[in-house]
Amino acid sequence: MSVRCIEDARAEKIVIVYGTPYHTGATEDFENQVADGVRAWKIGGHEWIDVNGVIFDCKHFIGSSSVPHARHTAPARDGLWNKLWSIDDQQPRADYIIRSHVHYYTVQGDKDFTAFTTPAFQGYGSKYGIRKCSGRVDIGFMWFDISEEGCVSWDKKILEIELLKAEALKL
């Protein structure tokens, strides 16, 4: 599924970021197969990508919160860490922080950066999702368009899937 989605984007260069074992296999990095399947330019654990002067800080893992109003904390924290690392020229200063792992969509930021957690491709009905996830799960995807001049537009599509709606067992 990942290969097909990436192919549909028709990108000239593809950068892939490794996920975590729950998502991709406990003993093997299945992202390598995806990277080979799409002839990825690079695969890594934490990547900074420059698209027409716009810097993206991309990593899969990020912490979560068990309370809805604190779900913005971890991405905002990573944005601040990027600012601090960049002061010492240890990381490129990012315009956009992209994180995943937590199976919900968030966006927050300030005048210096915007941070996202991406919606999941995996539903909460999977083996790990049903046993581990708490709170709302957003299933969908995001995309960015960056002009040659560095103007950015982005959007997301959150899917409503009837098959995944929980029902009470009637005894």
Each residue's pLDDT tens digit, 133-171: 678 888 899 999 999 999 999 999 999 887 777 889 999
Q: 114-117 and 106-109 as β-strands: parallel, antiparallel, unpaired?
A: antiparallel
* Cα(24)–Cα(22) distance, integer angstroms: 6
What are the pLDDT digits (tens) for 61-115? 999 988 999 999 999 999 999 999 999 999 999 999 999 988 899 999 999 999 9
Name the 3-class secondary structure at 103.
coil
pTM of the model: 0.89
* Domain range for 114: 45-164
Q: Is residue 68 part of a domain?
A: yes
CATH number at residue 63: 3.60.21.10
List the one residue out of 153, 144, 131, 70 whose CA is nearest residue 104: 70
- Whether residue 11 lies inside any domain: the answer is no
Examine residue 2 and state whether it is found in any structural domain, yes or no: no
Residue 35 lies in a domain: no
Q: How many CB atoms lie within 10 A of CB 158?
A: 12
24 located within any domain = no
Tally of domains within the chain: 1
Sign of torsion, CA 37 123 118 75?
negative
In a domain, 76, yes or no: yes
Judge whether 4 lies within some domain. Answer: no
Give the pLDDT band of residue 58 (cuts 50, 70, 90): very high
